[in-house]
Amino acid sequence: MIDSIHKEVFEIINHIARLICNKDIPGLQEAFALLEQSLAEYFATEAKVAQAVGFDFDNHVLAHQALLKDIRHKKTELVERNGLWSKSEEKIHIDSLRNCFISHIKEDSNPLKILLETHYYDFKPD
């Protein structure tokens, strides 16, 4: 369940990457709104799963807030620049966006992942 949400978020990030390359500012604004909505759903699902397996989620909520802050900062920076970036800056923005979510999965979510490994793969909280 969480893996499918990760895939959805990465699909949105890949869409944002294409919009960055095309310097499509209105599209970027819409895509970042979709990303924030998808992340909110992801965070809610993680919270339900954590509660179902007895995982202390307080610190993880802080990680969610930090991730959202990073995403919003990247959106603001791109929109304010209004497409005025070089090819090398394009790559930096895209890599930075991907890396902040990868970091969340690999580092911030790792304690929950370790606990979930003791449950069935398709575990779904009630």
* Domains in the chain: ranges and CATH: 2-116 (1.20.120)
> Is 24 strand, coil or helix?
coil
In percent, the amount of the chain with pLDDT more than 70 equals 93
pTM, rounded to two decimals: 0.89
- Report how far residue 68's alpha carbon sits from residue 72's, in angstroms, rounded to the nearest whole number: 6
pLDDT of 92 over the 90 cut: yes
Cα–Cα distance between 81 and 34 in angstroms, integer? 20
Residues recorded for the chain: 126
Distance CA 24, CA 21 (A): 8
% of the chain surpassing 90 pLDDT: 71
